Amino acid sequence: MPERSDVHYFGAGPAPLPSAVLERASQALLNYKGQGVGICEISHRSADANEILADAKAALTSLLDIPEDYEILFLQGGGSGEFSAVVYNLVGVWVEKRRAQAEKDLSASTDAKGEALEQKIFERVQREVKEELRLDYLVTGSWSLKASQEASRLIGAEYVNVAVDSRKANNGKFGVIPSESDWKPTPGNKAAFTYFCDNETVDGVEFPQFPKSLEGADAPWVVADMSSNFISRKVDVSKYSVIFGGAQKNVGNAGITIVIVKKSLLPPASPQAAPELLRRLNLPIGPIVFDWPTIAKNNSLYNTLPIFDVWIAGQVMSDLVSTYGAKKIAGQGEISAEKANIIYGTLEQYPNVYKVVPDKTVRSRMNICFRVNGGDEEKEKTFLAGAQKIGLLGLKGHRSVGGIRASNYNAVSLDGAKKLVTYLETYATGA
C-alpha cells in the first residue's frame, strides 16, 4: 500500500489538500482545542464556530485584499447552487431598484395615491422587465453553459443573452475565447449583470485577465465563477460585483461555497421580503438558504453550516497567508504559473505525441487538458495506467470530453509537477 508521500494526485475535484492541514484536521476531529469533543460535534451557534468563521474571513480578506465594502458568505449548494442564487438575488435587486425609481418618479409626477399609484408603479416595472431585463452570459465552457441554461430555466430564455458562445469560433467545440470585439452584449451595456466562468474545469480554458469591456462605472454588475482557480492568483476584487467558488478545488473539501459580494447588493429589504411583486412579474423567488441578504444578516449561520468544512478552508488560507507574507496570493500565483509552464513546455516538446486541447492564448493554469497519440483511446488508457503505477493519479479527462487532464491546484506540489514532467518525457521517448 503506497504512503501519501508516494502519490501525487491531479484530480479535478475533490482535489488534494495540504498534508499539514489534514494532520491537524485528524486531531481536531477527535478532540477540538482540548475540549474532549470533535470539531464536527460542536454547535454552529457556539463561540468556537463564530471564531472559525471570523478566522476564515480574515485570512481570505488578507490574501485577496478584499475591500471593506464587500461581504464574505459561506453557503452550501456548490457552484451549481450559485448558478441559481445569482439569478434569484441579482434579478431581485434589479427589480427593487427599478421599483424604487418608479415610485420616486411617479410620486412626483402624478396625483395618483394609494392603490392607484401602486398600480402605476407596477405597470411601469412590468414594462421595464419585459423590455429591458437581460442577463448576459459569456459561454466559454461546460460550466458557463450550464449556468446560462439554469438562468433560462428559472426566468425564461427571452431574458438571457448569450453574449458569446466560443464553440461558434472553434468548430463546435470549446477551447478558445473570442476577441471581445466579437462579443454581442446587451446594447448599451444595459444588462442586469454579465456572468462568466473564470476557469473552465472541464475544457481547460481560463480568462488570462479581467475583460476590458466589463471595466468602468457604466459596466453591468460582473459575476465570476472562480470555483477552480479561486485563490490561485492575484485578482482585483473591486472590479467584480460577485465572486463565488466551491471550496473543493483550491480551498478545502466539498461542502461549502464561498461568495464575495458587494454590500450594496445586500439591501436591508431582501427580495425575499417582497415576494408578491416578483410573483406578479412572473419572476422566480429563491429558497431562503440562497438569499444572500439573509445569509449575511445571520453571519452565514441562518441554517446549520458545516463548520468543519469552514475550518479546513480557514486552515488552508491561513497557511497561505503565513507562507507568502507580503506577497499574499501573488506568491501562490507565481508557483501556480511555474508548475503550469513546465508541464505545458514539456507537452509542446513532443507535438507528435501530445496535443494541448485549448488555444495557447487561453490555456488554464489549473486544468491542463491534452490528448495522447491523437486521442487514441487505447493508447490513452496505457498512458494513464503507466502514470498510476508510479503514483500519478487522477489524470483521466472529464467523461464528457475524454483525454487527459492534469489539475494543477494549489496543493499539487512543484515536485509533483516535476514528476509528471518526467513521466511525460519518458512516455514520449519510450525511455
Q: For residue range 153-176, what is the model confidence (pLDDT) as tens digits?
A: 999 999 999 999 999 999 999 999
Assess whether 296 and 338 both reside in one domain: no
Is the per-residue pLDDT at 272 higher than 70? no
Residue 245, phi then psi, degrees to nearest 5? -165, 140
Assess whether 90 and 211 both reside in one domain: yes
Q: For residue range 11-64, what is the model confidence (pLDDT) as tens digits?
A: 999 999 999 999 999 999 999 999 999 999 999 999 999 999 999 999 999 999
By three-state DSSP, how is residue 324 classified? helix
371 in a structural domain: yes
Q: Residue by residue, what is the 3-state secondary structure of 242-266?
A: EEEEECCCCCCCCCCEEEEEEHHHC
In angstroms, rounded to a whole number, what is the distance separating the alpha carbons of residues 27 and 50?
20
Assess whether 302 and 332 both reside in one domain: no
Assess whether 336 and 297 both reside in one domain: no
pLDDT for the residue 270: 56
CB-count burial class (<10 Å; 0-12, 13-18, 19+) for 46:
exposed
Instruction: Give the domain CATH number at 150.
Output: 3.40.640.10
230 in a structural domain: yes
Assess whether 290 and 351 both reside in one domain: no
Assess whether 233 and 354 both reside in one domain: no
Q: For residue range 83-103, what is the model confidence (pLDDT) as tens digits?
A: 999 999 999 999 999 999 999
How is 285-301 classified by DSSP, letter by letter? ---GGG-HHHHHHTTT-
Please check whether residue 150 is in contact with residue 124, taking contact to mean a CB–CB distance below 8 angstroms.
no
319 in a structural domain: no
By three-state DSSP, how is residue 122 classified? helix
Q: Residue by residue, what is the 3-state secondary structure of 335-395?
A: HHHHHHHHHHHHHHHCCCCEEECCCHHHECCCEEEEEEHHHCHHHHHHHHHHHHHCCEECC
Sign of the torsion formed by the C-alpha atoms of 173, 177, 179 and 184 = positive
**All three cell numbers of 331:** 506568491
375 in a structural domain: yes
Domain around 393:
328-429
7 in a structural domain: no
180 in a structural domain: yes
Q: For residue range 53-91, what is the model confidence (pLDDT) as tens digits?
A: 999 999 999 999 999 999 999 999 999 999 999 999 999
CB-count burial class (<10 Å; 0-12, 13-18, 19+) for 232:
buried
Assess whether 344 and 288 both reside in one domain: no
The position carrying cell 461568495 is 259
120 in a structural domain: yes
pLDDT for the residue 70: 98
Assess whether 278 and 332 both reside in one domain: no
